[in-house]
Chain A
Amino acid sequence: GESVGLHLPTLSVQEGDNSIINCAYSNSASDYFIWYKQESGKGPQFIIDIRSNMDKRQGQRVTVLLNKTVKHLSLQIAATQPGDSAVYFCAENHRRDDKIIFGKGTRLHILP
């Protein structure tokens, strides 16, 4: 999509604070959503997912919130650590579609 050509926005967070990364998705028919973490020079890594019949899901130090009314997805990271420094991508998928649609990504920068 067009977002592949855009520079990534950056979120700077103090170490120990909570981080909130936001994503607007495009397809109101999407029913499955994923957050990926990509560290420098590596492939994206699956973090957490959520289905459209849920509005919140928690993992270890991470929480994903889904607001279908406004097509908004967020990733919350508790007590941000230096190892959380990465680019975070949201992705959406429609049931039985072979492709997923990636968001533009957000770079999380941790301040000491």
Chain B
Amino acid sequence: SQTIHQWPATLVQPVGSPLSLECTVEGTSNPNLYWYRQAAGRGLQLLFYSVGIGQISSEVPQNLSASRPQDRQFILSSKKLLLSDSGFYLCAWSGSGAAAETQYFGPGTRLLVL
């Protein structure tokens, strides 16, 4: 069966510091991968998605970036965090092509920027 991991689970970072969040998927190959952000009590905002290694699509202009160095690894980064980057970051995977219909989410990373 497929599993998706995110780490760390919780992170407290000062403004201006760098960020690296990691997501890995097991039990599948060539998945589509997604990064979402969720503010407290709000809906899901798609940040980035990837249909293959090195292929990144950005949905919202911001100071975050994403990379996919391996087939089942998706990384969310920032060079300098802003207060507004605080939130709950969710990684998700889906199959590719016609199987991209359903996304499955990881446990999330709660980021607090102070």
A and B: real partners? Answer: yes
Bound state CA distance, A44 and B94, in angstroms?
Answer: 14
Bound state CA distance, A8 and B41, in angstroms?
Answer: 6
Within 8 A of B (CB), among A1-34: 3-8, 32, 34
The answer on a CB contact under 8 Å between B98 and A43 is no
How close is B33's CB to chain A, nearest CB, in angstroms?
10
| Binary per-residue interface labels of chain A (60-74) against chain B in the complex, 1 for a CB within 8 Å, 0 otherwise | 000000000000000
Chain A-chain B contacts (Cβ-Cβ < 8 Å), number: 69
Cβ of A93 under 8 Å from chain B: yes
- Chain B interface size band reads 20 to 34
How close is B104's CB to chain A, nearest CB, in angstroms?
6
Cβ of B63 under 8 Å from chain A: no
Which residues of B are found within 8 Å of A97, using beta-carbon distances? 100
Bound state CA distance, A34 and B102, in angstroms?
Answer: 8
Contact A100 B90, CB 8 Å, known A3-B43, A5-B42, A43-B108:
no
Number of A interface residues, CB 8 Å?
29
The answer on a CB contact under 8 Å between B100 and A96 is yes
The answer on a CB contact under 8 Å between A96 and B97 is yes
Which residues of B are found within 8 Å of A89, using beta-carbon distances? 43-44
Which residues of B are found within 8 Å of A34, using beta-carbon distances? 101-102
Within 8 A of A (CB), among B63-114: 90, 92, 94, 97-98, 100-108, 110
Which residues of A are found within 8 Å of B43, using beta-carbon distances? 3-6, 8, 89, 102-105
15 A-B residue pairs with CB within 8 Å: A6-B43, A8-B41, A8-B42, A8-B43, A34-B102, A42-B108, A43-B92, A44-B105, A91-B103, A97-B100, A98-B51, A98-B100, A99-B49, A102-B44, A105-B43
